[in-house]
Amino acid sequence: MHFESPSISRRTYLRGAGVAATASLAGCAGVGGTDELTIAHMPIYPDLQYYVMEDQGYFDAIDATIDGREFTDGPAIVQAYGGGEIDIAMFGIVPSMIVIDRGLPAKVTAANIREPMAILAHEDLQSMWQDHGADVFTVWREETGRPFRFGTFPQGSVPDVLLRYWLQQVGVSTDTVEIIEIGGANAVWQAIANGEIDGSSIMEPVPTRAASADVPIGTFRTAAEVMPGQPAAVTLMSDEVRSSPLAAQFLEQHVRATEFVGQNPEETARIVESGIGMGADLALQALRGPLSNFVTDPQTIESGVQIFSEFAAQNGQIEEALSLDQIFDYSVYEEL
């Protein structure tokens, strides 16, 4: 894949934006003497800790007024962060890398979940895998007259990277299959239900919904089988917050929320229903399934983050692969 080289380094060009963002963030809690902490999040399963903290009143333990801002996608959060509007962002690892690559002052201080995705495939392909292995996609094309159709989030997203990594690992060229870009988990589910795709790489609630419905597509590989330590949503903090007592206070509540999810599945299912819009019964099934690996410790996703960094560079989303030191600040979690 070819990407045109910009005439000026993005990192060089945007370093000024990073400085501007730093200045505009001077009003965040603990820095400029005000008492507001702006937290960006998305109504998705991997951001569940935010909704638990909100529902259970954990934010009250933080010495700041919490201004929670809900976004529909990662690029919108990146834009808001670049404009100095965000102190903490709970969103995908790839857009977090984009923020860092642009020279904006932030690092990942926590993971939200690990290995939350699944590769879904049509039952006919799954049954043929034992006999044909990775050649099954060629057999599929010969028998159906068309390539196997994967539907997932746009290229460079977490589900897309996992899918492409898995295909690479099993020796399947992306030219052998068709990868259809679909925006949103609900849209992916509709494509499955309508028979428009043959498989996917996707997070909850789609795998559990597929298992509960009369559709021929189901989980074929979990992320743990494909990429141990696979990252998804993380917690990105501005440098100003990381240098203040609010960083530890926030992560203390993040840990509480992570523990709450593991210890109270029924109550958590209610929170999922009200905050994320996933039915409580379905949410409870998902919470008891193999993809609900909610964590806080950032070191649990290190190996996967290295892979994602390389893919993000190959896709042209970041200028060059970032090191773990460039991405993570472990000190806040380690000092809890």
For the cut 50, the answer to whether the pLDDT of residue 7 exceeds it is no
For 60, the token pair is 């009250």
pLDDT digits (tens, 9 = 90+) for 273-311: 999 888 899 999 999 999 999 999 999 999 999 999 999
- pLDDT at site 145: 97
pLDDT above 60 for 5: no
Please name the amino acid found at residue 31.
Answer: V
Q: Assess whether the region 10-114+230-334 and the region 117-226 belong to the same CATH fold.
A: yes
Pairing between strand 106-111 and 233-238? antiparallel
Angle between helices 93-101 and 74-82 (to 10 degrees): 30
Helices of type H across the chain: 10-24, 48-55, 74-82, 93-101, 123-132, 136-144, 158-170, 185-193, 206-212, 223-226, 239-242, 245-263, 265-275, 280-287, 302-314, 324-327, 331-334
Q: How far is 256 from 20, CA to CA, in rounded Å?
A: 34
pLDDT in tens, 18-38: 433 433 443 454 444 458 999
The CATH architecture of the domain made up of 10-114+230-334 is 3-Layer(aba) Sandwich (3.40)
pLDDT score at 157: 87
Q: Give the Cα separation of 133 and 139 in Å (integer).
A: 10
Predicted local distance difference test score (pLDDT) of residue 26:
39
Two tokens at 206?
């789609």
**pLDDT for the residue 9:** 35
What DSSP designation does 322 have? P
**β-strand pairing of 199-203 with 106-111:** unpaired
* pTM of the full structure: 0.86
Provide the pLDDT for residue 201: 97
Q: Residue 184 — pLDDT band, cuts 50, 70, 90?
A: confident
Distance CA 37, CA 63 (A): 9
- Considering only CA atoms, give the Rg of the chain: 20
CA-closest candidate to residue 94, choices 317, 326, 329, 320:
317
Residue 28 confidence (pLDDT): 52
Q: Token pair for residue 245?
A: 């007592």
Nearest to 186 by CA among 52, 282, 285: 282
- State residue 12's pLDDT score: 36
- Mean residue pLDDT across the chain: 90
Sorted by where each begins, the domain ranges of the chain are 10-114+230-334, 117-226
- How many helices (H) and strands (E) are present in the chain, helices listed first? 17, 10
- Res. 72 pLDDT band, cuts 50 70 90: confident
Average pLDDT over residues 229-243: 97
- Confidence tier at 54 by pLDDT (50, 70, 90): very high
| pLDDT tens track for 257-268 | 999 999 999 999
pLDDT at residue 24, as a whole number: 40
CB-based contact 168:147 (threshold 8 Å): no
Banded model confidence at residue 197, pLDDT cuts 50, 70, 90:
very high
User: Which tokens is 214 given?
Assistant: 């009369």
- The fraction of the chain above a pLDDT of 70, given in percent, is 90
Architecture in CATH for domain 117-226 = 3-Layer(aba) Sandwich (3.40)
